[in-house]
């Protein structure tokens, strides 16, 4: 079975680190030791052994001092710095892919790292392009008994799903404190959520808001998320007792199959489309360059030559250039005549030499003017293109 990656994402205090510890212990009890990665630079102590720890390469307090940042900004910056070396992390995990079946990744509670920061996209896409990858969105069940808080958490989950485009499992943690049956009902039955919303408003004495903006907004969002829920697997677990982790691992196996069937094919299609788009862009740039250089791709000749424009570089010395050197031993005086003129008028002699030189000079000047004007015209055409 190929190595699969589980990235644990969730709000601060949702129990991600405790969930990681229990998942690690559960897999070890099944003789299936996972490969563990910690991406939280600000944690003081982790209750599990990490094969790769961001704290070994990024010093969180130094980042705060050097960049004059607060706690949240330093965590995001630390992840951005670490993501520049993600290729080395992938290589390390690849070396162990035959030894491990699961790679589990702990992340910081600053969920904005995976909602809008570049580091979250780089990390998830790097793993997803190499291994089957599943997002485990951890939810604090006792704190989500309010329909409004529940809706807020689901919107975060929705944004992460469409940001990463990876299979997602919503994990309702701490079920030893509060059962997650109410959440399952709200996700599968729209009317049950509406009833809970009205009851919550009445119990808090806010029935006046029932017909206001907040009620209308939550109702609209619940209708919108109905399709979103259909794409999710929902599991209730207790990191304290270990309840529900068998169901979670089964859901991971299902999502790995879904990744292979749908997400991998979609990613390959997107990558292929990008390659074709890049190829078209390069071909277009090459065509533009060849036009700028006045090169005819079909014939591979200079356009100026096709138009009958000769330049000095077209005439080079060689065997057939028409120039014949005079034999030094030849004493015969040669005579030259111009076409159309009588022989006596075109003879080159001492009397005619000045006139002949003058005609040469005039012809050379006219040729230079024609060449310069055509060169200027070509330059102007090039600028207009």
- Burial (0-12, 13-18, 19+ Cβ within 10 Å), 262: exposed
Work out the mean pLDDT of the chain and round it to a whole number. Answer: 80
Q: What burial letters (b/e) apply to 220-238, b meaning 16+ CB within 10 Å?
A: ebbeebeebbeebbbbbbb
Q: Which tokens in the block code for residue 148? A: 């409004």
Mean pLDDT of 11-26: 94
> Which CATH fold would you assign to the domain 4-202+219-252?
Rossmann fold (3.40.50)
pLDDT at residue 357, as a whole number: 61
Mean pLDDT of 28-33: 94
Report which of 152, 62, 157, 73 is spatially closest to residue 117, judged by C-alpha positions: 73
* Per-domain boundaries in the chain: 4-202+219-252
Q: Which tokens in the block code for residue 309? A: 């424009």
Q: What burial letters (b/e) apply to 94-112, b meaning 16+ CB within 10 Å?
A: eeeeeebbbbbbbbbbbbe
β-pair partners for 168: 135
Grouping H, G, I as helix, E, B as strand and the rest as coil, residue 169 is strand
Mean pLDDT of 280-308: 65
Do residues 90 and 131 touch, judged by C-beta distance below 8 A? no
Is the per-residue pLDDT at 351 higher than 60? no
Q: Higher confidence at residue 134 or residue 324?
A: 134
- Which run of H or of E encompasses 174? none
Instruction: Please state whether 243 falls in left (phi above 0), alpha (psi between -120 and 50) or beta.
Output: beta
Report which of 163, 149, 151 is spatially closest to residue 112, judged by C-alpha positions: 163
Q: Higher confidence at residue 330 or residue 124?
A: 124
At 338, the pLDDT band (50, 70, 90 cuts) reads very low
């Amino acid at each position: 079975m190929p190595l699969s990656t589980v990235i644990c994402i969730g709000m601060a205090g949702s129990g991600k680190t405790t969930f990681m510890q229990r998942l690690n212990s559960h897999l070890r009890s099944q003789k299936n030791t996972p490969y563990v990665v910690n991406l939280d630079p600000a944690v003081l102590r982790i209750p599990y052994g990490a094969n790769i720890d961001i704290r070994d390469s990024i010093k969180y307090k130094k980042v705060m001092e050097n960049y004059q940042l607060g706690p949240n900004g330093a965590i995001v910056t630390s992840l951005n710095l670490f993501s520049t070396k993600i290729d080395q992390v992938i290589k390390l995990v690849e070396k162990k892919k035959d030894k491990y079946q699961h790679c589990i990744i702990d992340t910081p509670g600053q969920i904005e790292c995976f909602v809008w920061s570049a580091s979250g996209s780089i990390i998830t896409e790097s793993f997803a392009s190499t291994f089957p990858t599943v997002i485990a969105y951890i939810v604090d069940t006792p704190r989500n008994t309010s329909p409004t808080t529940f809706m807020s958490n689901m919107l975060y989950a929705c944004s992460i799903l469409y940001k990463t485009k990876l299979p997602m499992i919503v994990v309702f943690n701490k079920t030893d404190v509060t059962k997650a049956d109410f959440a399952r009902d709200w996700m599968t039955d729209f009317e049950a959520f509406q009833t809970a919303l009205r009851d919550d408003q009445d119990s808090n004495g806010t029935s006046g808001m029932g017909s206001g903006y907040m009620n209308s907004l939550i109702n609209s969002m619940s209708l919108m998320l109905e399709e979103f829920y259909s794409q999710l697997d929902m599991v209730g677990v207790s990191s304290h007792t270990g309840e529900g982790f068998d169901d979670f691992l089964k859901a991971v196996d299902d999502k790995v199959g879904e990744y292979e069937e749908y997400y991998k094919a979609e990613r390959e299609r997107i990558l292929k489309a990008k390659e074709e788009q890049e190829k078209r862009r390069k071909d277009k740039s090459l065509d533009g360059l060849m036009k700028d250089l006045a090169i005819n791709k079909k014939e591979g000749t200079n356009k100026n030559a096709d138009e009958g424009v000769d330049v000095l570089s077209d005439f080079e010395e060689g065997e057939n250039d028409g120039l014949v050197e005079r034999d030094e031993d030849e004493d015969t005086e040669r005579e030259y005549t111009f076409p159309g003129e009588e022989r006596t008028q075109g003879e080159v002699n001492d009397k005619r030499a000045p006139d002949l030189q003058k005609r040469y000079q005039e012809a050379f000047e006219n040729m230079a003017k024609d060449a310069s004007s055509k060169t200027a015209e070509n330059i102007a055409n090039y600028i207009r293109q």
